[in-house]
Amino acid sequence: MSTPTRRFPEDFTWGSATASYQIEGAVAEGGRGPSIWDTFSHTPGKVLGGDTGDVADDHYHRWAEDIGHIKDLGLKAYRFSIAWPRVQPGGRGEFNAEGIAFYSTLVDALLAAGIEPVVTLYHWDLPQELEDEGGWTNRQTAYLFAEYARRMAQELGDRISVWTTLNEPWCAAYLGYASGVHAPGRTDGAAALAAAHHLNLAHGLAGAAVREVLGADTKVSVTLNLHVTHPVDPDSAADRAAVAKIDDVGNEVFLGPMLEGAYPQSLLDNTSHVTDWSFVHDGDLALIRIPLSILGVNYYSSSRARFYDGTGERQQADGHGDGAGSPWVGCEDVEFLPQPGPYTAMGWNIDPDAFRDLLVRIGRRFPDTPLMVTENGAAFDDEVAPDGAVHDENRIDYLRRHFTAALDALEQGIDLRGYFVWSLLDNFEWSFGYERRFGIIRVDYDTQLRTPKDSALWYREVVRTGTIG
Query: Which are the catalytic amino acids?
Result: 168, 375
In angstroms, the CA 76 to CA 401 distance is 21
Q: Quick one: which segment of 41-49, 69-77, 152-160, 165-173 binds ligand PNW (CB under 6 A)? A: 165-173
Residue 436 beta carbon to ligand PNW: minimum distance, rounded to whole angstroms: 8
In angstroms, the CA 455 to CA 394 distance is 9
Residue 76 beta carbon to ligand PNW: minimum distance, rounded to whole angstroms: 21
Residue 319 within binding range of ligand PNW, rule CB under 6 A: yes
Q: Which is nearer to ligand PNW, 138 or 303 (CB)?
A: 303
Residue 225 within binding range of ligand PNW, rule CB under 6 A: yes
Residue 122 within binding range of ligand PNW, rule CB under 6 A: no
User: Site for ligand PNW (CB under 6 A): how many residues?
Assistant: 14
Cα 411 to its chain centre, rounded Å, is 25
Report yes or no: 392 and 382 within 8 Å, Cβ to Cβ: yes
Q: Which is nearer to ligand PNW, 218 or 374 (CB)?
A: 374
User: Under 8 Å CB-to-CB from 456, ≥6 apart: which residues?
Assistant: 73, 440, 441
Residue 229 within binding range of ligand PNW, rule CB under 6 A: no
Residue 416 within binding range of ligand PNW, rule CB under 6 A: no
Among 131, 155, 168, 426, interactor with ligand PNW by CB under 6 A: 168
Q: Which is nearer to ligand PNW, 277 or 343 (CB)?
A: 343
Residue 320 within binding range of ligand PNW, rule CB under 6 A: yes
Report yes or no: 297 and 372 within 8 Å, Cβ to Cβ: yes
Residue 324 beta carbon to ligand PNW: minimum distance, rounded to whole angstroms: 10
DSSP state of 127: B
Residue 40 within binding range of ligand PNW, rule CB under 6 A: no
How many residues are listed for the chain in this entry? Answer: 469
In angstroms, the CA 24 to CA 99 distance is 12
Residue 143 beta carbon to ligand PNW: minimum distance, rounded to whole angstroms: 24
DSSP state of 350: P
Residue 171 within binding range of ligand PNW, rule CB under 6 A: yes
Measuring CA to CA, how many Å separate 334 from each of 180, 238, 322? 19, 10, 15
- Residues annotated in the binding site for substrate, as ranges? 22, 123, 167, 300, 422, 429-430
The phi-psi region of residue 124 (left if phi > 0; otherwise alpha if psi is between -120 and 50; otherwise beta) is left
CB atoms within 10 A of CB 216: 9
> Nearest to ligand PNW by Cβ — which residue?
320
Among 14, 15, 19, 409, interactor with ligand PNW by CB under 6 A: 19
With residues binned 3-state (H G I as helix, E B as strand, rest as coil), the percentages for the chain, rounded to 5, are: 40, 15, 40
- Residues annotated in the binding site, as ranges? 22, 123, 167, 300, 422, 429-430
In angstroms, the CA 356 to CA 403 distance is 9
Measuring CA to CA, how many Å separate 464 from each of 10, 377, 394, 425? 10, 19, 21, 20
List, in sequence order, every beta strand (DSSP E) within 226-327.
Answer: 228-231, 294-298, 302-307
Residue 344 within binding range of ligand PNW, rule CB under 6 A: no
Q: How far apart are the first and last CA of the chain?
A: 20
Q: Quick one: which segment of 48-56, 129-137, 154-162, 164-172 binds ligand PNW (CB under 6 A)? A: 164-172
Phi, psi at residue 374, to the nearest 5°?
-90, -15
Among 174, 402, 429, 459, interactor with ligand PNW by CB under 6 A: 429
Residue 276 beta carbon to ligand PNW: minimum distance, rounded to whole angstroms: 28
Residues 54-83 that bind ligand PNW (CB under 6 A): none
In angstroms, the CA 154 to CA 206 distance is 13
Residue 422 within binding range of ligand PNW, rule CB under 6 A: yes
DSSP state of 432: G
Residue 439 beta carbon to ligand PNW: minimum distance, rounded to whole angstroms: 10
Residue 298 beta carbon to ligand PNW: minimum distance, rounded to whole angstroms: 6
Residue 120 within binding range of ligand PNW, rule CB under 6 A: no
Report yes or no: 181 and 431 within 8 Å, Cβ to Cβ: yes
Residue 15 within binding range of ligand PNW, rule CB under 6 A: no
Q: Which is nearer to ligand PNW, 56 or 205 (CB)?
A: 56
CA angle 95, 100, 106 (to 5 degrees): 170
Residue 21 within binding range of ligand PNW, rule CB under 6 A: no
Q: Quick one: which segment of 134-142, 166-174, 258-266, 329-337 binds ligand PNW (CB under 6 A)? A: 166-174
Residue 167 within binding range of ligand PNW, rule CB under 6 A: yes
Residues 276-305 that bind ligand PNW (CB under 6 A): 298
DSSP calls for 78-138: EEEE--HHHHSTTSSS---HHHHHHHHHHHHHHHHTT-EEEEEEESS--BHHHHTTTGGGS
Residues that bind ligand PNW (CB under 6 A): 19, 22, 167-168, 171, 225, 298, 319-320, 375, 422, 429-430, 438
